[in-house]
Structure 1
Amino acid sequence: MSAPPPLPRKDSDDPGYLSPMSPGDESEDPGHVSPPPPVPGVDVPIRWVDADRSEPYTRIKPFSETQDTSVEWFFKPATLTTLAFALAVLAYVAMSPTLIQEGHDKSRIGMWAALAGFVTFGMIQFRDGPFIRPHPAFWRVILGINLAYVLAMVFLLFQDLDTARSIMKWLDPSLGVPLPEKSYAEDCTFSFTTVWNAVDIFCLAHALGWFGKALILRDYWFCWILSIAFEFAEYSLQHQLPNFAECWWDHWILDVLICNWLGTWLGMKTCEYLEVKPFVWRGRVAKGVRARTRRVLKQFSPHDFTAFKWEGTADFTHYIAVVLLLSVFLAAELNPFYLKSLLWMEPDHPYIILRLVGVFLCGLPAVRELYLYVNHPQKAVRMGQHVWLLLATICTELLVIFKWFHEEMDRGLYQEPFPTTVKWSFGLGLAAIVIYPAIKFGIPETRRYLRRNQRKLKQS
């Protein structure tokens, strides 16, 4: 992008020349030579009101990246075509007697059709996020699904728990049945047989989950802290959710040292591979069907990959960002356990799995936007839409859980109080979170402030 042309300089003898010394008067010094006026974009920032709209640096482009020329057709907008196709499908499904028969539940089909229409609008009209692979429209669809989900949670927030259970039973007739309490701490003898009997499909789910978290966070120590914090959270909340009660070796050997570590290691190795892999695709023109097919398939790999360096102890801003991100991640991990317990849903129910997959897909662009917002404020002047919406989603889930949980407590359930050790642990943890930044950042900043004041007093 070329720099704007310099403004024409005027000599001080020119009667149309105004000196910067005063708004409208010439300098009283006859030998004074006024400096040239500053050039916007070079000497001073460009103000929006003064910017020349004909210059290329002020033009707004629909995409921030130049797309691959070999699959340029893949990125051309087709809003009217999409609208025509969506209306055709809608008309076919709504008017076909073989698809919608009399006596069937049409309201459920209408709800899913309305959701599909909402997501289609989001795919066409929402802003692009930080990712452009496999296609910007894919991430706009993810954003639309996230928005629809948070709106559904807002609706459930104004319903009591019994009504929410009836709604879930309406969506899936197999629901609405109380779940039996299950504990994983029945036989805690440390032997090969007991450990092997504890290995099930959830171990694979643990590893896959931490593989996804590593792709989102892209930091070893961040994943380790979150992994250990979640195990402590299970210890603290097992008096409320019996399935959190596990043997010590299940917590620290099967979960942390094997499943979580394996998933984190594979995820970080994937991050390292994507970080160093040379992606030089723009400007290439593929010839032949096979080459073009290969180019289209490469759309499902990242356009670029940024290694995250959170630097939580660099300054107070990074510290707060890391603590908040850890808290939100921990809440996102705990929320589905409470939701499935309150709504009587099995851990392997499709709704629970879809929620976990959805949070993973929403977390990928959200954490990228948060990282840019914290570490590169000159590029991200405001918080991105993905991170804003995902934060709203987790907070809305917490509100729903708190409301329904108190309803259950009024019915005589969940009456066991927090153990004393848990209360002391929470207190010490919160104290450490507050005291550490006060010592790390507060004391040095106070010293610098006092030294500046002493210098000012001496100079005065």
Structure 2
Amino acid sequence: MATVENDELSPTSPIDESDTGILSGPNPEPGLNGAPVRWYDADRKEPYTRITPFAEKHDPAVEFFFKPITLTALGLALTALAYIAMSSDVLEEGRDKSRWGVYAAVSAFLLFTMLHARDGPFIRPHPAFWRIVLGINLLYVLGMVFLLFQDLPSARQMMTFLDPSLGVPLDERSYAEDCTLTPTVLWNAIDIFCLAHALGWFGKALILRDYWFCWILSIAFELAEYSLQHQLPNFAECWWDHWLLDVLICNWIGTYLGMKTCSYFEVKHYTWRTFRQSRGLKSKGKRVLGQFSPHDWTTFQWEGTSSFRNYLVVVGLLAVFLMAELNPFYLKSLLWMEPSHPFVIARLAGVFLCALPAVRELYQYVSDPRKAVRMGQHAWLLIATICTELLCIIKWGQGQFTEPFPSHIRVFLSIGAFLLVLYPSVRFGVPSARRYLVKHGRDKRSKIS
């Protein structure tokens, strides 16, 4: 790899020997007057405004994807809809015509959200992608609201409309049958779920972007499994499965790799070159792949102990994450779905995609309330989704989980709740009361004098 002295090239953009051609046009100056522009620095009238990347608007090859094409999309959608709805050849291929109607309705809804929903904090790979994610989340929460008004047998029956193989009771498996710590037992305990643990915590690290938060959440989830194993047998695991295999190996590997990825994006020099200004096929290919990487990166500093407001936000976010982690275990148990069922995997992947912009919006809402005057749409909808799932679990779980909480679990939960209240009382309440008394005493002395 060789470098060429050229004033039009960024010092961080090396040129490959295989690259040919010359740059077309001068390299645009990044940002405004040389200062980088981020989406939350904009002077906006609404909490979120559309930020067009400064490089793309100089490149007609990329600018096309940021132009509104609402009428064109409407015409193409109506053409496809008319062809499918009025062509008997197409409809005869499907056994259930109502299924085609549902698919068409969902597609029309997602098309509307893609074209007209408000933009969120992310602009890569394209704002329309995150609008579709928002639309899918809205469809899911609407489905959960509908199921909330059904009893458990009816909900199970309705799930068979989506997948006829469902509706069969499952045998719950316990992972605490042989807890002797031997190489053979440890090797037999390694399965596909270990990889799922690592991938899951890699994603959580990208969402939360904080080591301590991930560690607290990892330990809290294992404690939640201890507390709820009397309801779900698959929460019963050996001690070494909880703390060695899960926390110290799988979760740590995923968190470490995720935080290393965050560190890379944090220190990366973001100099976006247009497609036409990229030299050669190799550089153009890198530019295309770069469209699927972040446009910029914001490091999260939650600072849960700096103020009472931040403490409430961190505890609330921790509770929401725990609910998001526990809900699929209860839903698959109540609705009789295997852990490897596509619906379960799709739910986990969907929550991950929704949580990426949602936590970013929540962080902006907490850290800069003057600009983010209301909570973002992704954050609001994701909280509504998780809480709706919890309501379904509470309703359907009546009569299903009859075994009461063991006494030691109730004592443990009571101590945890007491500490959650005690810490902010000592950390924030006592100093505030002391300042109030001092100020009140000064006012009294000033009145007397």
Bucket of the pairwise TM-score, normalised by the shorter protein = 0.7 to 0.9
Q: Which amino acid aligns with 1:438?
A: S
Q: 1:62 to 1:385 in 2, by over 3 A?
A: closer
Q: Distance in 2 between matches of 1:285 and 1:422?
A: 63
Pair 1:307-2:279 in alignment: no
Is residue 108–residue 171 contact of structure 1 (8 Å, CA) maintained in 2? Answer: no
Deviation at 1:101, TM superposition (A): 1.0
Q: Distance in 1 between matches of 2:327 and 2:206?
A: 21
Q: Distance in 1 between matches of 2:150 and 2:313?
A: 33
Pair 1:80-2:67 in alignment: no
Q: Distance in 2 between matches of 1:93 and 1:192?
A: 58
Q: 1:192 to 1:59 in 2, by over 3 A?
A: closer
Q: Distance in 2 between matches of 1:141 and 1:181?
A: 35
Which residue number corresponds to residue 201 of structure 1? 192
Q: 1:329 to 1:57 in 2, by over 3 A?
A: closer
Q: 1:108 to 1:58 in 2, by over 3 A?
A: closer
Is residue 170–residue 336 contact of structure 2 (8 Å, CA) maintained in 1? Answer: yes
Q: Distance in 2 between matches of 1:102 and 1:198?
A: 45
Q: Distance in 2 between matches of 1:174 and 1:278?
A: 50
Q: Distance in 2 between matches of 1:345 and 1:316?
A: 41
Q: 1:228 to 1:353 in 2, by over 3 A?
A: same
SS class of match (2:155): helix
- The counterpart of 1:175, out of the listed 166, 185, 189, is 166
Q: 1:353 to 1:59 in 2, by over 3 A?
A: closer
Which residue number corresponds to residue 445 of structure 2? 458
Pair 1:355-2:342 in alignment: no
Is residue 175–residue 344 contact of structure 1 (8 Å, CA) maintained in 2? Answer: yes
TM-score, normalization by structure 1:
0.84
- The counterpart of 2:415, out of the listed 428, 432, 435, is 428
Q: 1:265 to 1:57 in 2, by over 3 A?
A: closer
Q: Distance in 2 between matches of 1:421 and 1:383?
A: 39
- The counterpart of 2:206, out of the listed 201, 208, 215, is 215
Deviation at 1:62, TM superposition (A): 6.0
Which residue number corresponds to residue 17 of structure 2? none
TM-score, normalization by structure 2:
0.86
- The counterpart of 1:449, out of the listed 436, 440, 446, is 436
Is residue 278–residue 287 contact of structure 2 (8 Å, CA) maintained in 1? Answer: no
- The counterpart of 1:321, out of the listed 306, 313, 321, is 313
**Cα RMSD over matched residues?**
1.9
- The counterpart of 2:107, out of the listed 116, 129, 140, is 116
Is residue 275–residue 284 contact of structure 2 (8 Å, CA) maintained in 1? Answer: no
Which residue number corresponds to residue 387 of structure 2? 395
Which residue number corresponds to residue 175 of structure 2? 184
Q: Which amino acid aligns with 2:356?
A: L
Which residue number corresponds to residue 425 of structure 2? 438
Q: Which amino acid aligns with 1:443?
A: V
Deviation at 1:310, TM superposition (A): 0.5
Q: Distance in 1 between matches of 2:111 and 2:228?
A: 40
Q: Distance in 2 between matches of 1:157 and 1:140?
A: 26
Deviation at 1:58, TM superposition (A): 7.9
Q: Distance in 2 between matches of 1:287 and 1:192?
A: 53
Q: Distance in 1 between matches of 2:181 and 2:368?
A: 49
Deviation at 1:135, TM superposition (A): 0.4
SS class of match (2:198): helix
- The counterpart of 1:336, out of the listed 318, 322, 328, is 328
Deviation at 1:457, TM superposition (A): 1.9
- The counterpart of 1:166, out of the listed 149, 157, 180, is 157
Is residue 273–residue 287 contact of structure 2 (8 Å, CA) maintained in 1? Answer: no
Pair 1:417-2:404 in alignment: yes
Q: Structure 1 stretch 107-116 or stretch 195-204: which is displaced more?
A: 107-116
Q: Distance in 2 between matches of 1:283 and 1:96?
A: 44
Identity %: 64
Q: 1:294 to 1:84 in 2, by over 3 A?
A: farther
Q: Distance in 1 between matches of 2:391 and 2:136?
A: 20
Q: 1:81-114 deviations in whole A, cap 9, x for unaligned?
A: 1112222222222233333118821112211221
Q: Distance in 2 between matches of 1:187 and 1:457?
A: 70
Q: Distance in 2 between matches of 1:239 and 1:384?
A: 38
